[in-house]
């Protein structure tokens, strides 16, 4: 596996459980959407937080379900959480032309554009967060309730 294999990567290591088994079999069960066993798994140590990313394709979409420790500047109560994204490639020409579609899951079957998500994160950093944006960020950071 990736970074942190030898102990306690982001507090992800299950008690008495092999790290690889934990990352590939136990952790995905806490994702807000089902992660197929065929998903690609990538562990990352980011700037100030740890992340495990699962990616797969289903239909026209590419999905990413990311588990991460609390990020720098996030609210203290946020803790470890999941963020789920999906992407549908655009079609550049012809009668079915469409722009690419990137979305973040912020509720049961409720998706917002990735741009709205980024804008909400920026507003939080600037202290100009609207109530709607706060709800998106709260609901889009799915609590890790293991």
Is 8 exposed, middle or buried, given 0-12, 13-18 or 19+ CB atoms closer than 10 A?
Answer: exposed
Q: Where are the domains of the chain?
A: 9-143
Per-residue pLDDT tens over the stretch 33-70: 999 999 999 999 999 999 999 999 999 999 999 999 98
The verdict on pTM exceeding 0.75 is yes
Q: What is the pLDDT of residues 110-129, one digit of tens each?
A: 999 999 999 999 999 999 99
């Amino acid at each position: 596996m990736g970074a942190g294999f030898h102990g306690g990567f982001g507090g992800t290591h299950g008690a008495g459980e092999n790290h690889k088994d934990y990352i590939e079999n136990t952790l995905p069960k806490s994702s807000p959407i089902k992660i197929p066993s065929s998903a690609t798994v990538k562990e990352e140590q980011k700037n100030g937080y740890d992340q495990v990313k699962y990616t797969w394709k289903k239909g026209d979409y590419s999905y990413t379900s990311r588990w991460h420790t609390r990020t720098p500047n996030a609210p203290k109560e946020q803790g470890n959480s999941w963020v789920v994204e999906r992407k549908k490639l655009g079609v550049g020409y012809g009668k079915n032309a469409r722009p690419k579609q990137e979305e973040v899951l912020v509720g049961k079957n409720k998706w917002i554009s990735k741009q709205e998500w980024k804008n909400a994160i920026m507003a939080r950093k600037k202290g100009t967060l609207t109530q709607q944006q706060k709800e998106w960020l709260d609901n889009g950071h799915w609590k890790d309730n293991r």
